[in-house]
Structure 1
Amino acid sequence: MSDLREQPDPHALLEWYDRHARDMPWRVGPARRARGDRPDPYRVWMSEIMLQQTTVAAVKSYFEAFTARWPTVSDLAKAEDADVMAAWAGLGYYARARNLLKCARVVHTDHNGVFPDTYDALIALPGIGPYTAAAIASIAFDRPETVLDGNVERVMARLYDEHTPLPAAKPILMQYASALTPQSRPGCYAQAVMDLGATICTPRNPACGLCPWRRACAAWDVGSAKELPKKTPKKRKPTRLGIAYIARRVDGAWLLEQRPDTGLLGGMLGWPGSDWADAPAENPPIRAEWQTLPTEARHTFTHFHLRLTVKTALVPMDRTPIRGHFVEAELFNAEDLPTVMRKAYALTKAA
């Protein structure tokens, strides 16, 4: 069978994409592009930042909320940091939100509110790495840049039956992907190969019978598609412990604290707490009779699991916090808190 295998044809993939392109709120589909419509680089950039390590399903509502509230990059650049961080709450990986603001302000100030249209200029912006620069350049500006996200890595590994495990395989897979990137319609091609990985060449049970590149796929030819891409085993995540102090004043106000700009949840509003460590030290933010809840708030970050002991207290009006500040009940919105803080809050409501 190997002697009969076709060569992968970018144009065959584009024909498939013209019929099966996913409908995304940030995307200008192939029919509209054929009529001359062009994507808004701001929306492409916003979507790519939000989609880093996050699913399309989780991103859609955030994207629509952000672009409705801040319809241009200059609108976002002028936004208050706290408003943007609150709007991002729940999406995770909060360094992205800080970089979002930094990038918006550089584009507004140094580029007159217009995104640059080349890979080299895009990668110089805050928070934009090689993949994102290539994605914006190709999708928004039809530059023949090569995109290589997780979906594309999987497609290339199977297409060429590449058994080198990730992450060591990345340069090899980039070479495969670069050789296939066409000069014609590179923006549509970039989205097509990502769509192929997301909808057909899926991690489990790929729908090889529907794939436009099936007869060019070496892994399909030898029956190894489900095994690829190979991955180096991940190290076991450690577990850290912490304490969250949830204090409410007798008038209903909640004691909150803004976290430092750097580090996990940087710049986010949350419950005052201890360090996250093997043996965290008590560090209450206000003098009170603290009660420990019988259950923990548990959350998993990229590199570790977190188990938070939740302590609650009701404090009088004249009690001054050591750190943090009280937020009036009518101004408090739990949805503005990051996910782990919302989990701790939910335990207090259920107690």
Structure 2
Amino acid sequence: MTADMPTPQPAYAVEAHGLVKTFGDFRAVDGIDIAVPAGTIYGVLGPNGAGKTTLLRTLLGIVDPDEGERTLLGDPQPLRQSRLIGYLPEERGLYPSMKAFDAIAFMGALRGLPLKVGRERARAMLEAHGMGASADKPIRQLSKGMAQTVQLFGTIVHEPRLIVLDEPFSGLDAINQGKLEVLIREQARAGVTVLFSTHVIAHAERLCERIAIVAGGRIRFEGSVARARDRLRPQVTLRTRASDGPWRRALPPETLAQDGNWHFALPDGGIEPLLRALLDGNAGIESLSIERPGLHDAFVAIAGESVARQMTEDRTREDAA
């Protein structure tokens, strides 16, 4: 390959096979296989304590696995790619007396970005997101949401190829969560791979193309959000004028009657044969809706009700803090 030819980009920004990380007798990461396609938004979804943070740190090379192998941007030594990575850990940390634009530039400098360039980009980023008036304010004078936005800008100011965010929505109100989602989408549109962990299913459903559901240090599901949802059949809600008749035999055996409606899973043969039976039997269709299961329903089916309940409790404690 000649010197002026670009380095070919790997199909996967992150790959791992058989990854194991233990702390004493505790297996925080227990035989995980994962592959994050380049240029996608990928979510690691699971409750607190599921092993998400340890998995991310192991993938980044911050800690070494006890077993297995991983590559980061095609490199089996992840730390060699550190200047191409933007990492926002769950534990936030900014110097309180440092000005906002200097904090962003400083974080970029840690990844090799010249301070002068970092300061110019920092001011531009703050201006573009309506925070120009805060550029010269010390971190201690910023709200929690603004300080977290500053730290996120510091994570991306050096224009990394891969951004890794550990519970980035933690502690943010709904408005700032929405702003963060916008920033993540902006990075993805620019061709950057975004890998983030969360215990809030709604964020993963809105943002991610692919997800890994993690519980107990193991991956319970890996694939597209659509494929996770497709594990459950769509649910039908039917309302008829007639309450009985020969057409009742066409309803699936597991049909439930509630509040004047019939509820059942979409039959394997689709809705058309059922519609014909209802029309021929004069059931008098008043309404019929077909609802595709959401990611929450799929998560419960994959990981179990107890894990889903733990995630709800995690979020409740976080909102109360």
Q: Higher relative contact order at CA 8 Å, sep ≥6: structure 1 or structure 2?
A: 2
TM-score normalized by the length of structure 1: 0.22
Structure with the higher fraction of residues in strand conformation: 2
